[in-house]
A and B are shown apart, each in its own frame.
Chain A
Amino acid sequence: MLAIANVSKTYPNNVRALEGVTLDVAPGEIVAIVGGSGCGKSTLLRAISGLDRPSKGIIHLDDEVITQPHEKIGIVFQEPRLLPWLTVAENVGFGLAHLPASERKERVARAIDRVGLADKAGVWPRELSGGQAQRVSIARALVPRPEVLLLDEPFSALDAFTRTDLQDHLLDLWADSKPTLLLVTHDVEEAIVLADRIIVMRPRPGRLFDEIGNDLPRPRDRQSAGFDHVKRQVLAALDRSLGRNISVDERETSAEKGAAMWW
């Protein structure tokens, strides 16, 4: 279990990015964190990844305290961050350098096949589309079989069509070994499609504000009434987190228009 206890982060310029965040995530759970810009959601993710250290509080994975990057925690960034001098296959195998070549090769081949890029194994990253590159990045993070996979707005740079495609694909990959997924996103629909639980954060200082459970059956239909219901709950919580009070009726009309402008 991933346990975040009373985590605060103050930057050297005295910006309080996070304050007193406590959150438990069960193994295999998918949790999405949404919130206005500056609410510290990426800061929280970076603290869990071990890339940054919190100023206060403690993060446990099972019995271990996380103070630096950990082999059981994988991360996918907003940009694919592939190493341009390695082929697709070498990028996917980047975290497996400690394994014997034969095992590494086999696991890499399986992972590339799993993200549907078997024909691209030998090409350079420059030859991939944005969506393909992000799939390679996800494969690279998953191939060491992490217990927790962190995703920092992983699909935000992609076009709408590729994005929904990759959301479905991510769920498909998750089903293989069911790691814990902790996802930061700007996209409310993305949070609802993917997550069992949606955490709403509030800015200045960043803290947890609300939590919306989501037990819609999978695969989730983005057009269904149930989906719309959850979406309205999340959007209302976001508005409240930013101190805006909009009545439910107005909320409904703006939700129908598509993504509300809550940021």
Chain B
Amino acid sequence: MSSVEMTISVADKAEAAEAQPPRSARLWRPLLGLALPVALAVTWEIVVRLGWSDGRLVPPPSVIGTTLWELARTGELWQHTRATLLRVVAGFGLGVAAGTLFGAIAGYSALTRTIIDPTLQALRAIPSIAWVPLFILWLGIFEASKITLIAVGVFFPVYLGVMGAILSVDRKIVEVGRAFRLSGPALVRRILLPAVLPAYVVSLRSGLGLGWMFVVAAEFMGASEGLGYLLIDGQQLGKPVQIVAAIITFAVLGKTTDWILTSGTAPFLRWEDRFHARAGA
């Protein structure tokens, strides 16, 4: 083997090692993120057990766990989670449908964009919570006003994301479609839709995040069930542990729905040439 060949094969190995970290590192890496919260929780538990704090305002993990278990055992947790989840699903669905439709039309037609975009941008500037009193007057205090508020929150990021994605589709790629004589619908299906998909997923994720934010606001405005109700109830009855339990449930639900969204769309986005795409995020 000549020295040049040797250098090349050594370089190859170095590259391979870089691309594929050792097995143990790949397994342990994600768990590193858990170290900090677990350490904090354990420390707090010890502090309360030693009697350095009574843990009334900031309950220790064991008490939160017991409370969650109690709520789950009596079926309350499921009842409230279900109510909140249904509101988010309905509001998210409506917001996504409307945002996608308006975003697509505004992105596709310059005339429509000039007509509707300034109005929508002005509406976007209104803090969405400001709509609450109006929605209650218009739609009553039950589900309709809550779902509408969530839908409004989801609508804007999706609208902006879809419109921006369509506007930024590479003209050169659209031209390939024209050169192959694609009809209008075929151009949309075979070029525009796949081209906007990555940006669309991002806008769905931010829409979903806002959906979870707004469901809390919606449930604050008067609800007899739901995780937001648990929060208010915990405040009024002076039960911080119930508040923390509801917050943890929110965190788990938010993370889980986001995970469902990203892993559900990942198979369609494998082609993306992203920074760190090969590291398998």
Contacts and interface: CB of A to CB of B under 8 A. Distances in A.
A83 B173 contact: yes
A75 B179 contact: yes
A12 interface: no
A74 B179 CA distance: 8
B191 interface: yes
Interface string B174-211: 01101111000010001100110100000000000000
Closest 4 CB pairs of A and B: A126-B273, A85-B194, A85-B271, A95-B180
B270 interface: yes
A51 B179 CA distance: 7
B179 A69 contact: yes
A89 to B, nearest CB: 13
A76 B180 CA distance: 12
B29 interface: no
B80 to A, nearest CB: 41
B276 interface: no
A74 to B, nearest CB: 8
Interface in B89-134: none
Contact of A83 (B176, B179, B273): B176
A83 B191 contact: yes
B26 interface: no
A84 B272 CA distance: 7
A124 B180 contact: no
A126 B181 contact: no
A97 B197 CA distance: 22
A81 interface: yes
Interface of A: 49, 51, 68-71, 74-75, 77, 79, 81, 83-86, 94-95, 97, 124-126
Contacts of B181: 68-71
Given A51-B175, A69-B181, A124-B271, 16 more contacts: A49-B179, A70-B181, A71-B181, A74-B179, A77-B175, A77-B176, A81-B172, A81-B175, A83-B173, A84-B271, A85-B194, A85-B271, A86-B271, A94-B180, A97-B186, A124-B273
A69 B180 contact: yes
B270 to A, nearest CB: 7
B172 A83 contact: no
A97 B273 CA distance: 25
Contacts of B186: 97
Contacts of B197: 85
A214 B56 CA distance: 94
Contacts of B176: 77, 81, 83, 94
Nearest to A150: B179
B193 to A, nearest CB: 10
Given A69-B181, A83-B194, A95-B180, A77 B271 contact: no
Contacts of A83: 173, 176, 191, 194
B173 A81 contact: yes
B180 A84 contact: no
A141 B271 CA distance: 22
Interface in B143-196: 172-173, 175-176, 178-181, 186, 190-191, 194-195
